[in-house]
Amino acid sequence: MLTKSSPDLILKWSCSQIHGRKMDDDDDDIPQLSSHTLAALQEFYLEQQQREGMKTSQGFNQYSIGSIEEDWQLSQFWYSDETASCLANEVVVAAGKGGRIACVSAPSVYQKLKEHDGKDFSVCILEYDRRFSVYGEEFIFYDYNHPLNLPENLLPHSFDIVIADPPYLSEECLQKTAETIKYLTRGKILLCTGAVMEEQAAKHLGVKICKFIPKHLRNLANEFRCYVNYASGLD
Ligand SMILES: C[S@@+](CC[C@H](N)C(=O)[O-])C[C@H]1O[C@@H](n2cnc3c(N)ncnc32)[C@H](O)[C@@H]1O
């Protein structure tokens, strides 16, 4: 079946049509794509042009949420713009003047913070997905399976606040991510995860659920919540 989102498939399919075709001795005309294939290809390229056009006409912002697309294999579900802004504002206030912020598996908060760049704070992004290495030295590769496998220059308790959104709703993942969070933070923690993780979040990090409800770009089946261990603006 043809899909408009896969030109490779369209081309492979149409090439096989052409190559599979028996050429008559006097058949020296150029092979033609079927009208159906051609229409699918044209539709794909038109949509691609429109997407590219939008990027350039709106001035492509490398920090906009979604500029790196969600990869569901990596459990990536980006926050809505409004939620990312709320969380970014919260961590800036919590970090204080000249504060240091670590975004652990929470890349859209990092992106939102960078949109406010020039303000009085510094920020690092700890992420498993190496596509975020486009952000240069602020990117730190991070795998929650190796919670303390961090660069030497990332000193213990060197961040005023750590915000984290672990990839999986399991106690193992939360416990390991909690190890990283406790290593990095000077005290303040903002955790975003499923409502079902409330008990484990209290157990491993001493955090309490907030009234604020985080929203995602796409509706998720699981209810998500934020948890903190300090007096935050999320209640
Ligand atoms: C539930 S998403 C949280 C994203 C957040 N909602 C946002 O918008 O920034 C989980 C994050 O964990 C990252 N991740 C996936 N596998 C990981 C791993 N093994 N170790 C650490 N982080 C991982 C994903 O790339 C993703 O950014």
- Say whether 129 sits in a helix, a strand or coil: coil
Lowest mean pLDDT of 143-147, 148-152, 217-221, name the range: 217-221
- Say whether 200 sits in a helix, a strand or coil: helix
Residue nearest to atom 15 of ligand 1 (CA): 74
**Would the pTM of this model clear 0.85, i.e. be above it?**
no
Residue 235 has pLDDT above 70, yes or no: yes
Measured distance CA(17)–CA(219) in Å, rounded: 41
Residue 146 CB neighbour total at 10 angstroms: 11
Ligand 1: nearest atom to the Cα of 79: 8
* Interstrand relation of 139-141 and 159-164 (parallel, antiparallel or unpaired): unpaired
Confidence of residue 184 (pLDDT cuts 50, 70, 90): very high
Residue 104 has pLDDT above 50, yes or no: yes
Top pLDDT among 40 and 190 is at 190
From first CA to last CA, the distance across the chain in angstroms is 50
State what percent of residues in the chain have pLDDT above 90.
70
Q: pLDDT tens digit string along 216-228?
A: 999 888 999 999 9
**Domain coordinates of the chain in residue numbers?**
7-57, 72-228
Class of domain 72-228: alpha beta
**What are the φ/ψ torsions at residue 21 (nearest 5 degrees)?**
-75, 140
pLDDT at 39: 63
123, 128, 145: residue to mutate for ligand 1 pocket, most atoms within 8 A of CB: 128
Tokens 């997905």, residue? 129
pLDDT at 155: 97
CB contact set of 12 (below 8 Å; sequence gap of 6+) = none
Measured distance CA(223)–CA(139) in Å, rounded: 29
Question: Ligand 1 centre from 56 Cα, in Å?
Answer: 28
What average pLDDT does this structure show over 8-33? 45
- Token pair in block for residue 148: 């303390």
Q: Which of 203, 154, 155 lies closest to 175 in space, CA to CA? A: 203
How far is Cα of residue 36 from the mean position of the Cα atoms in its chain? Answer: 36
pLDDT at 31: 55
Residue 7 has pLDDT above 90, yes or no: no
Lowest mean pLDDT of 9-23, 100-114, 186-200, name the range: 9-23
Ligand 1: nearest atom to the Cα of 129: 25
Question: Ligand 1 centre from 72 Cα, in Å?
Answer: 10
Top pLDDT among 28 and 175 is at 175
CA geometry: angle 195, 188, 233, nearest 5 deg: 65
What's the whole-number average pLDDT of the chain? 84
Measured distance CA(162)–CA(190) in Å, rounded: 6
- Token pair in block for residue 40: 């699918």
State what percent of residues in the chain have pLDDT above 70.
74
- Say whether 63 sits in a helix, a strand or coil: coil
pLDDT at 3: 39
Q: How far is CA 69 from CA 72, 105, 125, in A?
A: 9, 15, 17
Confidence of residue 153 (pLDDT cuts 50, 70, 90): very high
Alpha helices in 96-190 (DSSP H): 107-115, 171-184
Residue 222 CB neighbour total at 10 angstroms: 13
Question: Ligand 1 centre from 169 Cα, in Å?
Answer: 11
Residue nearest to atom 19 of ligand 1 (CA): 143
Gyration radius from the chain CA atoms: 23
In the beta sheet, which residues pair with residue 157?
A: none
Q: pLDDT tens digit string along 26-85?
A: 445 555 666 666 666 666 555 555 444 444 445 568 899 999 999 999 999 999 999 999
